[in-house]
Structure 1
Amino acid sequence: MANTYTQIYIQRFFAVKFRENKISEEIRDEVEKYICGIFNHKKQSVLAIYANPDHIHIFFCYRNLQISIPDLVKVVKVESTNFINEKKYLKTHFSWQEGYGAFSYSKSQKENVIKYVLNQKEHHQKQSFKHEYIGFLKKFEIEFKNEYLFEFFE
């Protein structure tokens, strides 16, 4: 029986609905651990994760090709939303905004991307999420229309 071998590194990020600051420092660690558990259950390997108050970055090695990236995003969003709401971490309902960004990297970029994701707190003291996201779209030469981007409230 032949085996399939892959090494695909992807950084994904998506935003909290209405870009509200709902992921506080008090719950950040639990949310990150839970999301890592979802990835592990789906046989994916998280290399770095950082939940900002209004969006999250996840850098992972995409190994299990039995689940598509859109399906993986859907599972992560649904299950983490349910987790946050069932734990009653917030006084109001939590949900993720529609859409996401997914960007691929080579193995030689792996350590730099891990550092970038883990340095999010400091990074966003200098740059907004909107500026960061549009920068990614331009860097990766992805055509986009402003009206289809995340809802940015600044």
Structure 2
Amino acid sequence: MSYVKIWVHLVFSTKNRQPYLTKNIRYKLQSHIIENCKAKSIYLQAINGYTEHLHCLISLGKEQNIAKIAQLIKGESAYWVNKNNLTNETFIWQDDYFAVSVSESGVERVINYIKNQEKHHQWKSFNDEVQEFANNYKFDLQKE
């Protein structure tokens, strides 16, 4: 038997960072994503976000990779939002995402960070959060 525990903090936003994820929609969407992850054997430890983005803490399975997990979560959830007419316009996620590894010792800190997104974004914009991620993890945000 293989034993794998690779924690990934995954962050993705709505197309053009449109603020579609009002509290009502966001909570429904998060509940749906939780159920969808269970059905697809994706171990989702934490999920939360704000008006234009979501954070997920995921433990990858032995046959899973970040790109496939992001595709499964984002693609199916956008389909579900549109099928249920939760937004006035077609709902689309941004193609890009952030994904960083999390050490076992950092899991609780990341869970708390994800749980406190609404409080966190009372004083920090998503653009500021993106820049902070880029600085902390040495991402180059320059467009080609």
Do Structure 1 and Structure 2 share a fold, with TM-score over 0.5? yes
For residues 19 and 31 of structure 1, what CA distance do their matches in structure 2 show? Answer: 16
Which residue number in structure 1 is paired with residue 128 of structure 2? 131
The alpha carbon displacement at 1:141 in A equals: 2.6
Indicate if the aligned counterparts of 2:42 and 2:69 stay in contact, CA closer than 8 A. Answer: no
State the one-letter code of the partner of 2:42: Q
State the one-letter code of the partner of 2:48: Y
Segments of structure 1 that go 5 or more residues without pairing to the other structure are 149-154
State the one-letter code of the partner of 2:37: F
The alpha carbon displacement at 1:10 in A equals: 0.9
Which residue number in structure 2 is paired with residue 141 of structure 1? 138
Which residue number in structure 2 is paired with residue 58 of structure 1? 56
The alpha carbon displacement at 1:51 in A equals: 3.0
SS in 2 for 1:89: coil
What is the aligned-residue RMSD (CA, Å)?
1.4
Which residue number in structure 1 is paired with residue 37 of structure 2? 39
Runs of 4+ residues over 4 Å off in structure 1: none
Which residue number in structure 2 is paired with residue 152 of structure 1? none
1:95 to 2:92 alignment: yes
1:28 to 2:26 alignment: yes
For residues 92-149 of structure 1, the C-alpha deviation after alignment (integer angstroms, 9 at most, x for no partner) is 110101110001111111111100001000111111112212211221233x13326x
SS in 1 for 2:143: helix
Q: Give TM-score scaled by structure 1 length.
A: 0.87
For residues 125 and 13 of structure 1, what CA distance do their matches in structure 2 show? Answer: 18
Of the candidates 75, 80, 98, which is equivalent to residue 83 of structure 1?
80
For residues 14 and 114 of structure 2, what CA distance do their matches in structure 1 show? Answer: 17
Which residue number in structure 2 is paired with residue 17 of structure 1? 15
- Report the identity percentage: 27
SS in 1 for 2:121: helix
